[in-house]
Structure 1
Amino acid sequence: MQRTSSRVGAALVTALLMLTAHVLVAVDRASAADPFTGYLMAHFTGEHANGEQIYFTHSKDGLHWTELNNGAPVLLSTVGDRGVRDPAIVRSSAGDRYWIIATDLRMSGSGRSWSDASNNGSTSLVVWESTDLVNWSAPRLLDVAGGIPTAGDAWAPEAIHDPVSGDYVLYWATNATIDGVRKHRIHYVRTRDFRTITAPQVYIERSGTQHIIDTQIVESSRDVSGFRYYRASKDSQITIEGSNSILGSWTTVGNLSHLGLTAGQVEGPMWMRFNNRDEWALWLDNAGGDGYLPIASTDLSSTQNFRRLSDYSLGTARKRHGSVLNLTAAEESRVLAKWGTTTPANRLQSFNFPDRYVRHANFDVRIDANVSRIEDSQFRIMPGLADSSAVSFQSLNYPGYYLRHQNYDFVLAPYDGTARFQADATFRQVPGLASSSWSSFQSYNYPDRYIRHYAYQLRLDPITTATGRGDATFRVTG
């Protein structure tokens, strides 16, 4: 009897678990099927100090974009090459998880050539994971190309869910020697979690010595465009192909040379489907110019249907090779709540030299009068990088750069994500040492020292005299 009761109880528990799982799946699928209301672009900005990191930009209409997080990076790579390029943002098929995958590569300040980067670079990708688009895991490395003999790199990753197998096809470009020919080919693996992968296989190869590097796939509607999937690739042109299966045979649709857009001019093709209508934009990265430009079509089955768009704006910063995620209202609300508020810019006025303000010049920091580029003396007072109850000073015209002390001197430096930087760039705002109606700024990691000017240069010093108290007192002005 006891064993029978146990079996009945177990059956009930199993039934309840199955019901719970069914409800959870239903909720996930419903959330993934919610109508889209906005767009999120993940991208990098170029070969400068913190340009090779993850940036987010938002749009309501898919054409006019605004930088998030005050134009600063939202994620920093602290693994591998400590820089990332070509990010792709992926929503899980259930709508309950997101991944960002990116090239593990930093060119800025590395001193390396592109030849060295492609022949002796990282064979890993950098991966972040989130359940809500705003709280992201620490970055991790995923070695996708290490199993390819003679592999020199792993560039421009993308991923798409395969409804046939239920997993994801993760694909990227690797420079390797196969059958005596060294060139970039697109390889792929399968994965369910972006942690465990199958052995890499060649996915796309062009004839002869022709490289292929940037490829991105978009799902279409066959009743509108003929094929279920389309991919745009950078080879000798920007080539468009169509297929009804991700890993099946692909048919060449054409290229964009008739629009004056060739692989010598543009790269990094980035698909985006407009919300609420059967129209697609293909953004192309004008790497030697101003960044992305869009073309659009309501029928992808012929490249002659594409038209160039002129009514668009990409915001202030240059946008480089990335991807676009269509956002539901709930996703959009979370993203904007986290990064959409613009922090106002302020100036720090000297107490004992009131005509002078803290400013940066060639990344050194001092107090000056008559600052000719006022943006050099404007900072966003942010929650402290090491302690949110304290403050950090982010440059207005160099987003992602902060005032920090080094050997008790001050510089304007790009945030590198390290604990040392966080501590060096964090200060406690206290009543002014010379006037309590003003402010002084106490070092977070050297609490016996304060920001002060000496011979007009900004320093971090102990304060023991009346002159020092005046030097260490500032007014925060609009």
Structure 2
Amino acid sequence: MPRLLTRLAATLVAVGLFFTSHSLATPQRAAAADPGYLMLHFTGEGSTGQQMYLAHSADGLHWNDLNDGASILRSTVGTKGVRDPALVRSPGGDKYWIIATDLCWGCGSTVDGSINNGSRSIVVWESTDLINWSEPWLLNVAGAIPDGRNAWAPEAIWNPATNDFVLYWATNVPLDGKTKHRIFYARTTDFRTITTPQIYIDRPGTQELIDTQIVEMPAGVGNYRYVRASGDGQITLEGSNSILGTWTSLGNLSGIGLTGSQVEGPMWMKFRDRNEWALYLDQYASRGGYMPVTTTNPSAPGTYRIPASGTYNMGITKKRHGSILNLTAAEESRVLARWPSTPANRLQSYNFQDRYVRHANYDVRIDQNVSTSPDSQFRIRPGLAGSGTVSFESVNFPGHFLRHSDYDFQLVRNDGTTQFAADATFRQVAGLADSNWSSFQSYNHPDRYIRHYAYQLRLDPITTATGRSDATFRVTN
């Protein structure tokens, strides 16, 4: 989460200099078949970077971008930008939520506006399988806080003592007319309604605190059941035996050269095959994205180590403030099948070869001069309705597919229904006008094909030479 203007104009800090002074052995996984880890994150500023991205790791240190580095969800509510996401699993593993800051930095918002008159809501998505997500909604978490100016960096943890989630976030409630972010909390079971917000963490004087994340400890490790890491000028560690109880200061990471002026967005990960943890930190000052520090006892600051350069790899996209989920085998199988490595393609018209299929305001047509437009890029996925078929997923509107309705085409979000799947599924066959090209036959109306008419995409029977040309396309990059 961005701090004040001085931090947003971040001076380059040579955090990388620390890498050479510490080492970390490459971890050995307990078994090759062990499921891995899923990271949810955003990548940077602007309307594209401030969306939801996923990365997968087999060992917790080497990350691969899913969906070819493209976002997997796009916010359509509030500011239409999302940052600082948390991925929350229900205790029974039958439901998931994404909660995120409703902020699109650099999309028209100003520094002062975001800090002093920002969104008081967070953005929420819900899923039952980790791959099909609801439409997002706004949850107003800070509206009831007197003089609360925004709501940033939400997190949530299940509290067995109260049988619900503790939802916590940062809100600016100015002190003596000056900015001061503090951590508030509320309780919830469904991320639709919450209890009255209460102060959770408030540092003395003018010290702000924006980012904090809690990890639960297994029995026998350290002296506390929970450890939290917070960005409050340092990366401060605290311990407690109760989420809503008293927390004890344990120290910070300044001893290994990491302070809140260099890193933010603490993100915990437990290695599944051993009692070792990674605390990922976002190198906002050097614009370096996440780096890990590791420890065998999160409650003991002296046990933290920065890995040597080359012992971890964050993938292609920059990873910024998010969260990591230890996957089950079933979850991993679903996630990797849903977002495989699939290149972005375009569909070129056979008889108007300077035109390509594109969406505009969710309508679909063929247009000129779209070679650099993401509106003309699609990922050809396995068909939603049947094997041996294809479906076309938008690159810049992930989860939205080309779908026919009343024989007209639109770009529509997949609602998970059987009808949607059938309407968005096609058989790729030899081109009706040229067998070296392709035509696309409707799955549920096999007498009809995708074709353009007056530059609009339609689903029509093909009976003439003109129709065959209109229904022929080249899949190209």
- State the partner residue of 1:103: 101
> By how many angstroms is 1:331 displaced?
1.8
Q: Kindly indicate whether the alpha-carbon contact (under 8 Å) linking 1:44 and 1:320 is maintained by their aligned counterparts in 2.
A: yes
Name the counterpart of 2:324: 324
| Corresponding pairs, count | 407
Question: Distance in 1 between the 2:179 and 2:287 partners?
Answer: 29
Q: Does 1:75 align with 2:70?
A: no
Question: Structure 1 residues 120, 427: CA separation in 2 closer, same or farther (over 3 Å shift)?
Answer: farther
Q: Tell me which of 240, 246, 258 is aligned to 2:255.
A: 258
- 1:450 corresponds in structure 2 to 452
When the two structures are superposed, what TM-score results if normalisation uses the length of structure 1? 0.72
**Aligned AA (1:67):** D
Deviates most, 131-140 or 275-284: 131-140
Q: Note the 1:222-371 alignment, pairs <5 A.
A: 223-287=220-284, 288-309=286-307, 310=309, 311-339=311-339, 341-344=340-343, 366=369
> CA offsets per residue over residues 112-146 of structure 1, 9 Å max, x none?
21221121111111112222212222212111111
Change over 3 Å in CA distance of 1:418–1:343 after alignment to 2: closer
Q: Measure, in 2, the Cα distance between the counterparts of 1:262 and 1:366.
A: 48
Partner of 2:42: 44
* Aligned positions of 1:197-216 closer than 5 A: 197-216=194-213
Q: Secondary structure at the match of 2:327?
A: strand
Aligned to 2:184: 187
CA distance in 1, matches of 2:412, 2:42: 15
Which has a greater percent of helix? 1
- 2:461 aligns with none
Kept after mapping to 1: 8 A contact 2:79/2:103: yes
SS at match of 1:198: coil
Contact 1:241 1:253 in 2 (8 A): yes
Could you tell me which runs of 5 or more consecutive residues in structure 2 were left unpaired when the two chains were aligned. 1-32, 359-366, 403-410, 442-448, 459-463
Aligned AA for 1:336? L
Point out where structure 1 has 5 or more consecutive residues left out of the alignment: 1-34, 405-414, 453-458
Mapped contact 1:65–1:315 kept (Cα < 8 A): yes
Q: Compared with structure 1, are the counterparts of its residues 148 and 367 closer, same or farther at alpha carbon in structure 2 (3 Å cutoff)?
A: closer
**2:213–2:228 Cα contact (<8 Å) kept:** yes
Shift of 1:277: 1.2
Superposition RMSD on alpha carbons, in Å?
Answer: 4.2
Alpha-carbon offset, residue 71 of structure 1:
2.3
Structure 1 residue corresponding to 2:153, chosen from 150, 153, 156? 156
In structure 2, how many angstroms separate the alpha carbons of the residues matched to 1:441 and 1:96? 37
8 Å CA contact 2:43–2:49 kept in 1: the answer is yes
- Choose from 121, 125, 135 the match for 1:124: 121
> Closer, same or farther in 2 for the Cα pair 1:367/1:451, shift >3 Å?
farther
SS in 1 for 2:220: helix
Deviations 1:398-442 (A, max 9, x none): 8969999xxxxxxxxxx99699xx9xxx99877646424423689
Cα gap change, 1:434/1:332 in structure 2, threshold over 3 Å: closer, same or farther? closer
Q: Deviations over 1:333-380 (max 9, x none)?
A: 2222222x22256576786899x99799xxx96499xxxx9x9x9964
Q: CA deviation at 1:391?
A: 5.1
Aligned residues of 1:174 and 1:184 also touching (Cα < 8 A): yes
Tell me: CA distance 1:357–1:256, structure 2 relative to 1, closer, same or farther (3 Å).
farther
Aligned partner of 1:438 in structure 2 is 437
Once the two structures are superposed, the pairs formed by residues 48-63 of structure 1 within 5 Å of their partners are 48-63=46-61
SS at match of 2:331: helix
How far the C-alpha of 1:260 sits from its partner, in A, is 2.4
State the one-letter code of the partner of 1:293. Answer: M
Write out per-residue CA displacement over residues 250-290 of structure 1, whole angstroms, 9 at most, x where no aligned residue: 22222222322221211111011110211110000112423
C-alpha separation between the residues in 2 aligned to 1:190 and 1:217? Answer: 15
What TM-score, normalized to structure 2? 0.72
> Does the C-alpha gap of structure 1 residues 269 and 461 become closer, same or farther in structure 2, counting only changes over 3 Å?
closer
Percent of pairs identical after alignment?
Answer: 58
Q: CA separation of 1:123/1:108 partners in 2, compared to 1, >3 Å: closer, same or farther?
A: same
Residue identity matched to 2:282: D
Shift of 1:195: 2.0
Report the residue type matching 1:135 in the other structure. Answer: N
Paired residues of 2:401 and 2:414 also in contact (CA < 8 A): no
Shift of 1:214: 0.3
SS for the counterpart of 2:341 is coil
Partners in 2 of 1:223 and 1:55 — Cα distance? 35
Counterpart residue identity of residue 188, structure 1: Y
How far does residue 57 in structure 1 lie from its aligned partner after superposition?
1.3
What is the letter of the counterpart of residue 438 of structure 1? W
Indicate the residue corresponding to 2:166 in structure 1: 169
